Amino acid sequence: MTEKPNLIGLDFDELTAALMSAGFEKYRAKQVWSHLYCMGVNDFQSMTTLAKPAREKLAEHFSIDRPGISAHQKSSDGTQKWLLRMADGNEVECVHIPEEDRGALCVSSQVGCAMMCKFCHTGTQRLVRNLTAGEILSQLMIARDALQDWPEPAKEGVAKKPGKPGANGDVSSRAVTNLVMMGMGEPLNNYDNVAKALRIVMHPEGIGIGKRRITLSTSGVVPMIRQCGDELGVNLAISLHAVTDELRDVLVPVNRKYPIKELLKACREYPAAGNTRRITFEYVMLKDVNDSMADAKQLVRLLRGIPAKINLIPFNPWPGSPFECSDDATIQKFGDLVNAAGYASPVRTPRGRDIMAACGQLKSASQRK
Return the active site residues.
Answer: 93, 359
- Which one among 132, 235, 239, 366 touches ligand SAH, defined by CB under 6 A? 239
Residue 72: how many CA atoms within 13 Å on its side-chain side?
10
Angle at 48 between CA 45 and CA 53, to 5 degrees: 60
Q: Write the interaction track for ligand SF4 spanning residues 184-223; mark x where CB under 6 A is met and - where it is not.
A: xxx--------------------------------x----
Quick check: 218 binds ligand SAH (CB under 6 A)? yes
- Which one among 75, 80, 178, 217 touches ligand SAH, defined by CB under 6 A? 217
CA distance 146 to 67: 13
- Give strand pairing partners of 80: 74, 96
Closest distance between ligand SAH and the C-beta of residue 21, in Å? 37
Closest distance between ligand SAH and the C-beta of residue 34, in Å? 32
Concatenated DSSP letters for 315-335? PPP-TT-S--BPPHHHHHHHH
For the chain, the first-to-last Cα distance in angstroms comes to 24
Q: Write the interaction track for ligand SAH spanning residues 134-173; mark x where CB under 6 A is met and - where it is not.
A: ----------------------------------------
Closest distance between ligand SF4 and the C-beta of residue 66, in Å? 23
Quick check: 315 binds ligand SAH (CB under 6 A)? yes
Contact positions with ligand SF4 (CB under 6 A) in 108-147 = 113, 115-117, 120, 122-123
Closest distance between ligand SF4 and the C-beta of residue 122, in Å? 4
- Give strand pairing partners of 97: 104
3-state secondary structure 282-318: EEEEECCCCCCHHHHHHHHHHHCCCCEEEEEEECCCC
Cα separations (Å) of 60 from 4, 64, 287?
A: 8, 11, 58
Q: Which residues contact 320 (CB under 8 A, 6 or more apart)?
A: 124
Which does residue 111 bind out of ligand SF4, ligand SAH, none, counting CB within 5 to 8 angstroms by kind?
none
- Which one among 32, 84, 94, 182 touches ligand SAH, defined by CB under 6 A? 182
- Binding residues vs ligand SF4 (CB under 6 A): 113, 115-117, 120, 122-123, 184-186, 219, 239
